[in-house]
Amino acid sequence: MREIQFPYGRGHLTCALEEERLNDVLLSGVESYVPEHDQQELVRLALENPVGQPRLSKLAEGKKNIVVITSDHTRPVPSKITLPLLLEEIRRGAPQADVTILVATGCHRSMTEAEQLDKFGEEVCRREKIVVHDCDDAENLTDIGQLPSGGRCIVNRLAVEADLLVAEGFIEPHFFAGFSGGRKAVLPGVAGRATVLENHCSRHIAHEKARTGILEGNPIHEDMVWAARRAGLAFILNVVLNAEKKIIFAVAGDMEKAHARGCDFLSRICRVSGKASDIVITTNGGYPLDQNVYQSPKGMTAAETVVRDGGVIIMLASSSDGVGGEAFYHQLADEADINRTMAMFLSREPAQTVPDQWQTQILLRILKKASVIYVSELPDETIRALHMTPAHSLQEALKLACERLGNPNASITAIPDGVSVVTTLKE
């Protein structure tokens, strides 16, 4: 037997799996990577040695209105570490500048004061001006042009009107943008709802290049880069995290060049290959990405690659914050035929995209290949309404999976952190 831990909420679920049934345990190299410096020093060195740009303190000289975009509560960016160092570097060059921290919520709900305190720390919350982006606040949005794919690029006015626009974030494999970080701070981070919807349209989501670990030729990525450049994103600080959400790598500088360096680093250690299996167990890496069902397709896409057609994906996601989107719920729950829903999405023009459609589309794509057993804290009827089978423990999920397959010895692949890997299928 082999005992494997899977992140779940703020803890773990543990399961002993029979070696003879276990095809692969797919782990990102981030788990074994040992950085040369501690977290603060990695960030400090990145800021002191930017890629493709002068130091941020130099860029900040003479600037009076500086905006720093940061991630919201749904992203594990360790802002208690990164933000103070970033602000320190800015004020080294512009001690009198008016600095605004703009929270990139995309189309997510706003952050509560408690969530801000938890994420940014008491010192930042007490001393800094924090504005939470609202994608529907027309008065604070402005149109900056046409995206390469054709949609209008509407973003937060604070970002566009800044003398210097800076962003912090983290880089991980992303299930349709290739990798997170960099340009995503602007689109979708501080973009208007209409722009996010067009960028996430069904045509883009269905594109063969809109997949985990792919940037070149990815239309979603290309729109994001254009938006960030047009908005004036001059400097980024991005980090790579391990499963404990600790920084193992940091890069700073030009929005494209620094991001590319971070993606290159991560790509070298996160690509894994596995055999096709009857059952694939995956997660969203625990809190915060597993706090709702809406985010769960991210971890499922890692399993999608290595589960056989007609197999079973076991998704472990505590979902302590519920489903995570009213539109997402009804897109799934209100139609019994998933093929009909998919056809409806694919027939829509980009401008007709509706909220949460992309997440639903990806989940439907997965469900067309494999059934999903969902382990969470949610009521059974909620999970069933979303075309998945509920379970309340990993052991129960495995029993259900074997019964569904009619095979008590069904092969298994374990992916302890589905959002940390780029999976490929072994020949």
Q: Which residues contact 389 (CB under 8 A, 6 or more apart)?
A: 371, 372, 373, 374, 383, 400, 404
**Is 207 inside any structural domain?**
yes
DSSP structure string for 48-93: HS-BSS--HHHHHTT-SEEEEEEE-TTS---HHHHHHHHHHHHHHH
Residues 9 and 44 in one domain: no
| Total domain count, the chain | 2
Residues 339 and 254 in one domain: no
383-391: long-range pairs with CB below 8 Å, 24+: 383/293, 385/329, 385/332, 385/333, 386/293, 386/323, 386/329, 386/332, 386/333, 387/332, 387/338, 388/315, 391/314
Residues 174 and 215 in one domain: yes
- Detail the DSSP E strand segments found in 225-306: 233-241, 247-253, 271-274, 277-283
Q: Which of 133, 174, 221, 259 is catalytic?
A: 174
- Whether 153 contacts 187, CB under 8 Å: yes
Is residue 108 part of the annotated active site? The answer reads: yes
Please identify which residue in the block is written with the tokens 């880069």: 225
Residues 337 and 407 in one domain: yes
- Whether 23 contacts 413, CB under 8 Å: yes
Residues 247 and 203 in one domain: yes
Q: Which of 108, 133, 221, 387 is catalytic?
A: 108
Residues 390 and 357 in one domain: yes
Q: Are strands 11-17 and 2-8 parallel, antiparallel or unpaired?
A: antiparallel
**Is 33 inside any structural domain?**
no
**pTM: predicted TM-score of the whole model, two decimal places:** 0.91
Give the pLDDT of the chain (427 residues) as one tens digit per residue: 899 999 999 999 999 999 999 999 999 999 899 999 999 999 999 999 999 999 999 999 999 999 999 999 988 899 999 999 999 999 999 999 999 999 999 988 899 999 999 999 999 999 999 999 999 999 999 999 999 999 999 999 999 999 999 999 999 999 999 999 999 999 999 999 999 999 999 999 999 999 999 999 999 999 999 999 999 999 999 999 998 889 999 999 999 999 999 999 999 999 999 999 999 999 999 998 899 999 999 999 999 999 999 999 999 999 999 999 899 999 999 999 999 999 999 999 999 999 999 999 999 999 999 999 999 999 999 999 999 999 999 999 999 999 999 999 999 999 999 999 999 999 7
CA neighbor of 397 nearest in space, from 128, 2, 1, 8: 8
The domain in which residue 172 lies consists of 39-269
Residues 256 and 284 in one domain: no
- Whether 222 contacts 145, CB under 8 Å: no
**Count of H helices and E strands in the chain?**
16, 20
